[in-house]
């Protein structure tokens, strides 16, 4: 994938153009892409990934807040 991204950046081609150029008909890349295209697999995977990262970010933000000052200090 890194090589493909480098190729697209250096040739100023779109990713779609690069993929069409390097994916041999009935080859391994085309077979892999067919799986990602089937039933919106890639869209679902990206959505699940972003949701998981968002949930974890919220958890980390809550953890970073720590205990509230009113809860830490004894009452006078």
**In a domain? residue 27:** yes
Question: For residue 76, is pLDDT > 80?
Answer: no
Give per-residue pLDDT as tens, 7-17: 889 999 988 89
Report yes or no: 29 and 22 within 8 Å, Cβ to Cβ. yes
**In a domain? residue 40:** yes
CA dist 20 to 12, 61, 74, Å?
Answer: 15, 42, 68
Give per-residue pLDDT as tens, 3-56: 878 888 999 998 889 888 888 889 998 898 888 888 888 899 999 999 999 999
**In a domain? residue 28:** yes
**In a domain? residue 6:** no
Task: Tell me how many domains the chain contains.
Answer: 1
By residue range, what is the domain housing residue 19? 11-61
* Rounded Cα gap, residues 42 and 10, in angstroms: 26
**In a domain? residue 32:** yes
């Amino acid at each position: 994938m890194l090589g493909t991204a480098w190729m697209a950046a250096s040739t100023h081609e779109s990713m779609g153009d690069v993929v069409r150029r390097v994916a041999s008909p009935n080859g391994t890349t085309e077979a892999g892409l067919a799986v990602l295209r089937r039933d919106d697999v890639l869209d679902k995977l990206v959505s699940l990934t972003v949701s998981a990262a968002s949930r974890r970010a919220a958890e980390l933000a809550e953890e970073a807040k720590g205990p509230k000052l009113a809860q830490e200090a004894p009452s006078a």
